[in-house]
Amino acid sequence: MKATFYGHATIALELEGANVLFDPFITPNEQAKHIDINSLKPDYIILSHAHEDHVADVATIQKNSDAAVIAIVETAAWVGRQGVSQDKILAINFGGTIKTSFGSAKMVYALHTNATPDQQYGGVAAGYVIKSGDKKIYFAGDTALTLEMKLLADEQLDWAFLPIGDHFTMGVDDAIKAAGFINCKNIIGIHYNTFPPIKIDEEEAKQKFSAAGLNLHLLSIGDSIEL
Ligand code: NI
Ligand code: MN
């Protein structure tokens, strides 16, 4: 299995049985100009929430790929208003696990606001625990550090995608605490460096994680890592 970073919080996962794309925000991202979104043909698009920096390319990529879109109910309704047909929308809510061709996706808590790009109610922001083959992966989405993460401690997570950019989400120090809460050592950073307020010192971040006994992977846009 493999993860590819497309900038910001956009992650593609090649799982057992299907390809998944999280939070597509590529064409508005100046740092991702070299990525051709027409080359992306996921089987599933999974949304943490509907803020513009997580959904900008959903409609285009869904049209190109006919992907099923997984989101919380109210964000899923916005996806429907973008012209995605209802049979391609998988609306779930907290605590719910959906069976998929790669395994399953469970919606878990995130501490963050949510609104659609047209400023309608988008429900609440969410994270996901993905099961595929013998791997378990946590995609935190946009979130602050929260005690709810401790509920994932016994999940035996292999990998976690955590926001580390601060300002709109938790920053490096809280992400290190989060890694402790979820009991996962292999962390891939998301939601950093895209905009000036979320710029981080990458070397310092890696050193801090390493000092806490954790591995922080920071991928260049377009690069992949074996999971
Ligand atoms: Ni957000
Ligand atoms: Mn965001």
Length of the chain: 227
Range of the domain at 206: 2-226
Residues having C-beta closer than 5 Å to ion ligand 2: 51, 53, 142
d(CA 188, CA 225): 9
pLDDT of residue 53: 98
pLDDT of residue 220: 98
Q: How far is the CA of 91 from the centre of ligand 2 (A)?
A: 20
pLDDT digit string, tens, across residues 166-214: 999 999 999 999 999 999 999 999 999 999 999 999 999 999 999 999 9
What DSSP assignment string belongs to 179-214? HHHHT--EEEEES-SSSGGG---HHHHHHHHHHTT-
Query: pTM, whole model, 2 decimals?
Result: 0.98
Distance of CA 47 to the CA centre of its chain: 7
Q: How far is the CA of 194 from the centre of ligand 2 (A)?
A: 10
Please tell me the total count of domains within the chain: 1
Q: How far is the CA of 134 from the centre of ligand 1 (A)?
A: 30
Q: What is the number of other CB atoms lying within 10 angstroms of the CB of residue 185?
A: 17
Query: Across the chain, which distance is largest between two alpha carbons, in Å?
Result: 48
Q: What is the DSSP secondary structure assignment for residue 148, as one 8-state letter?
A: G
Number of the ligand closest to the Cα of 110? 1
Number of the ligand closest to the Cα of 23? 2
Looking at residue 59, its amino acid is: A
> Which residues are registered as beta bridge partners of 132?
135
d(CA 138, CA 178): 12
Give the domain CATH number at 167.
3.60.15.10
d(CA 17, CA 176): 32
pLDDT digit string, tens, across residues 17-47: 999 999 999 999 999 999 999 999 999 999 9
Q: How far is the CA of 49 from the centre of ligand 2 (A)?
A: 8
Helix, strand counts (H, E) of the chain? 5, 14
- Sign of the Cα torsion 210, 9, 21, 127 reads positive
